[in-house]
Structure formats: C-alpha cells, structure tokens
Amino acid sequence: MDYPLISRGIRWELVESLNENNSLAQLIMKLYDAYAHEIRRHMNYEQKTLSPYVEKLLDGQPASDYNVEAFSKHHGATDQQLKELKILIIK
C-alpha cells in the first residue's frame, strides 16, 4: 500500500508496538488502515471539490452546485473512526 509520509510513521509505530499475532493488534491495524484510507479519500475530496468552491467564493462567484453543509457531512465518518480507534488503542 502507498501511505503518505506521516501515515507511514504512525503506521510503523503501531506495527512496532503491537504483536502481529494478536487478534486485537490485527483489529487495531485493520481499523487504522481503514481510517488512513478514509483520510486520504477525504483529502482528495477537499482538493477536488472544496478548494475550487472556496476559491470561487473568494473571487466573489458563489457556486450554486455546492455548499458548506455538504462539506460538513463528510467530516462525521472520519471523526467517528478516529474515536473508535483511539478507544480501542487505550483499552
């Protein structure tokens, strides 16, 4: 898998600190990988959709095909995934 530099560092730290034969460790890694994938997907969305929208607003050209409410809906999933991962790691 191709991970951004920061994700590689975090993932590497997790791999180094967990016993790969432990089922809980495997679950943590699975959740982390899913979270990292979702973050990459979300960042791509922001780059392709949100950034042009904001640029249009700054240029005084409000877009009728997009609004900030649509953007806020994309944040809920990643927030929940991070909370679940954090709780699992703490336990």
pLDDT digits (tens, 9 = 90+) for 16-39: 888 889 999 999 999 999 888 888
3-state SS, one letter per residue, for 19-74 = CCCCHHHHHHHHHHHHHHHHHHHHHHHHHHHHHHHHHHHHCCCCCCCCCHHHHHHC
pTM of the model: 0.70
- C-alpha count within 13 angstroms, C-beta hemisphere, residue 25: 11
pLDDT at 3 > cutoff 50: no
How does DSSP classify residue 18? S
Q: What is the pLDDT of residues 41-86, one digit of tens each?
A: 888 888 888 888 888 888 998 877 777 777 777 666 777 888 888 8
